[in-house]
Amino acid sequence: MTTQIPPQTRQTQIKLDYQAAEYTSFMDRLKQWLFNGYASLFYLFLYAPIFVLVLYSFNKSRFPTYWTGFTLEWYKILFNDHLIGSALKNTLIVSISSTIIATIIGTMVSVGIERYRFRAKSAVDGLLFMPIIIPDIAMAIMLVVFYNLIHMDLGLYTIIISHIAFNISFVAIIVRARMASLSSTMEEAASDLYANEWNAFWRVTFPLLIPGILGGALFAFTLSLDDYVITNFTSGPGSTTLPIRIIGMTRRNITPEINALSTMMLLTAMLLVPLSLWLQRREDMS
Amino acid sequence: MAIEPRTRRERLTLNILLSPTLFWLIFFFAIPLVIILILSFLDNSPNGRIVWNIQLDNYIRFADQLYIKIFIRSFFIALITTIICLLIGYPMAYWMANQSLKKRNTFLLLIMLPFWTNFVIRTYAWKMLLARQGQINQLLIALKIIDEDNVHTFLNTNAAVIMGLIYIWVVAMVLACFASISGLDRSLLEAAQDLFANPARTFLRVTLPLTLPGIVSGSILVFVPSFGAFVTPDMLGGGKADMIGNLISQQFGESLDWPFGSAISAILMIVMLFGTLLYFRGLRSGEAQS
């Protein structure tokens, strides 16, 4: 029992590589070469606009078009811009609170739907699915009409409520996919062991669900940070968020300050996303 | 897998698990949706007040040539966006699925990174690139393709809107196609190669039909947000009522005609729901055949 058997997947991979080597002909290599070239072009298409955006945040000229020299001036202006500061604060309040609430209740509903059989299941399914396929402009106007009708003042609260309403569905999709991939035998074995459903859930099912919950939370957080349409309609005076601020800035006059702000936001996303994906994978392995 | 809640305790657990979501979605989704539908049958007075008078005028008004034109334009912009996304996204997904497992994760992450960054920023990047003095015109001048006196006007055209939509949504298409291509059974392809001996026919007869679910879900993921787009036509299309999303927003802004805006939203939602259902039905029958 001391010799280690290599994982099944690796064995098949080696076999496939071996076969691939055998059949490689000139045509195959040409095809490979063309495909690689195509993929490089595709990545260029994805990243070139972002690269230009970042580059021109260091442009001396006050227009982000003609390159006149290097400066950090726009970052200095950005960090002293109190409107940006308050927009950032609002964005974080909205994203964090709506993510936390949507993740908790979205996980609850996923566990309920996947675990139990009940009559209204397809109705609940439909209700959960609807916010995903309805265009955000339609959701935005129906919420603003509703808030008006019940005389709710527009502000941070109404933005948070609206964000939760669309985030629940996305959290539920991801958590339910994870839940469905877990085998019920695990929990059955656990309930034999702990004899208590509550303990079985918290000790066995919940830890296995964590990657799905984190994935759902990350998705909800990004959607919330990204949202312009619903936020714009449900926000009141003083509750401006970053996307609203950016669009407002592009309407008045375009300066490299927008590029500097964009660069900071890009940097945050580029650090946060790989980090959280890495965390999820670690959870997955343990 | 799922169990029937038998004991009182189990029923209580189920209720506790479901009720927060039900509360939220009924209050902040279902009821507002019904209100919009009712509102779409009401009347609007010239000063923007809603008059309780049930009629079909808002829907009849939409049949006007002006609005039908906007509807058709939105439809074609979304359709062209979806087709181009499929044409450029599918080969990319195919390429990724053929990489070794180790490399695949890196390439996937590289595809997803722009997707996770703010879409207002990504649209702004194109506003900058496509401007009259923008980098694309500068590049064209440098390459001597055009001369400085007659630079292209890219912004505020349908092409600019399509460009922006493709840039934002092509990633969704790649991911959806990738999911179904990477799930393909390799032995089937080998068997097909032995049978047809022609790679083109193998692709058309085997790979394409088997990856149809990915193509369908990718197309929905691109078409739905493109059809109802609001920010992209606003930033790249010049902010006029270019697409149906802008027309709706206008009714809640300058025009101040909520009932008419609600009626357009209702039409938009019905088209979306109908389209999605049709797609899923087609998908299911396609699966049944294969």
Domains and CATH numbers, chain A: 75-285 (1.10.3720.10)
- Give the residue numbers spanning the domain of B161: 66-289
Q: How many other C-beta atoms lie within 10 A of the C-beta of residue A58?
A: 18
Cβ <8 Å between B36 and A145: yes
Residue A85's pLDDT band (cuts 50, 70, 90)? very high
Contact across the interface for A164 and B88, Cβ inside 8 Å: no
Mean pLDDT for the stretch of residues A152-176: 94
Say how many C-beta atoms besides its own lie within 10 A of residue B129's C-beta: 23
Calculate the alpha carbon distances from B131 to A61, A259, B156 in Å: 16, 15, 9
DSSP H or E run through B44: strand B43-44
Q: Which residues of B touch A269 (CB under 8 A)?
A: 113, 116-118
**A63 CB neighbour count, 10 Å cutoff:** 15
Residue B133 lies in a domain: yes
Instruction: List CB contacts (< 8 A) between B39 and chain A.
Output: 145
Is the pLDDT confidence value at A9 over 70?
no
Between A141-150, A186-195, B235-244, the lowest mean confidence (pLDDT) is in A186-195
The nearest CA of chain A is from the CA of B4 a distance in Å of 5
CB contact under 8 A, A56 and B128: yes
Question: From the list B35, B94, B230, which residue is nearest A142 (CB)?
Answer: B35
Burial classification of residue B203, based on how many CB atoms lie within 10 Å of its CB (0-12 exposed, 13-18 middle, 19 or more buried)? middle
Of B22, B33, B228, the CB nearest to A137: B228
pLDDT band at A12 (very low <50, low <70, confident <90, very high): low
CATH code of the domain containing B148: 1.10.3720.10
- The partner residue sitting opposite A165, judged by closest CB among B28, B91, B252, is B28
Least confident segment among A92-106, B141-155, B172-186, B221-235: B141-155
Per the structure block, which two tokens stand in for A51?
């690269």
ipTM: 0.86
Chain B positions touching A109 (Cβ under 8 A) are 17-18, 20-22
Residue B216 lies in a domain: yes
For the residues B153-177, what does the mean pLDDT come to? Answer: 92
- List of residues 6+ apart from A28 with CB closer than 8 A: none
* In the predicted structure, residue B104 carries a pLDDT above the cut 60: yes
> Binning pLDDT at 50, 70 and 90, where does residue B272 land?
confident
| Whether A256 contacts A57, CB under 8 Å | yes
Interchain CB distance below 8 Å, B2 and A146: no
- Find which of A142, A150, A166 to mutate to test the B interface (most B CBs within 10 Å of its CB): A142
Q: What is the pLDDT of residue B134?
A: 86
Residues from chain A that touch B24, judged by Cβ atoms under 8 A, are: 105, 164-165, 168
Q: Return all residues near B230 (Cβ < 8 A) that are at least 6 apart.
A: A136, A137, A229, B243, B245, B246, B248, B249
Residues facing B43 on adjacent strands: B51
Among A114, A242, A258, the residue with its CB nearest the CB of B2 is: A114
Does pLDDT of A88 surpass 80? yes
Encode pLDDT of B31-42 as tens digits: 999 999 999 999
d(CA B21, CA A119): 17
Encoding tokens for residue A84?
């940006």
What is the per-residue pLDDT for B194?
A: 77
In angstroms, rounded to a whole number, what is the distance separating the alpha carbons of residues B105 and B100?
A: 9
Contact (CB, 8 A) for A229 and A241: no
Q: Considering its fold, how many domains does chain B have in total? A: 1
Contact yes or no for B169/B225 (Cβ under 8 A): yes
Q: Is B156 within a domain?
A: yes
Facing residue for A243 by CB, picked from B98, B120, B131: B120
Chain A residues within an 8 Å CB radius of B141: none
Whole-number Å distance between alpha carbons of A55 and A93: 30
Q: What is the mean pLDDT of residues B232-248?
A: 85
- Whether residue B3 is contained in a domain is answered as no
- In a domain, residue B50? The reply is no
Global model pTM greater than 0.80: yes
- What's the mean pLDDT in B206-233? 88
Q: With CA atoms as reference, report the closest residue to B277 among A66, A179, A188, A126.
A: A126
Residue B34 lies in a domain: no
What residues of chain B lie within 8 A of the CB of A233, using their CB? 252
Q: What is the pLDDT of residue B163?
A: 96
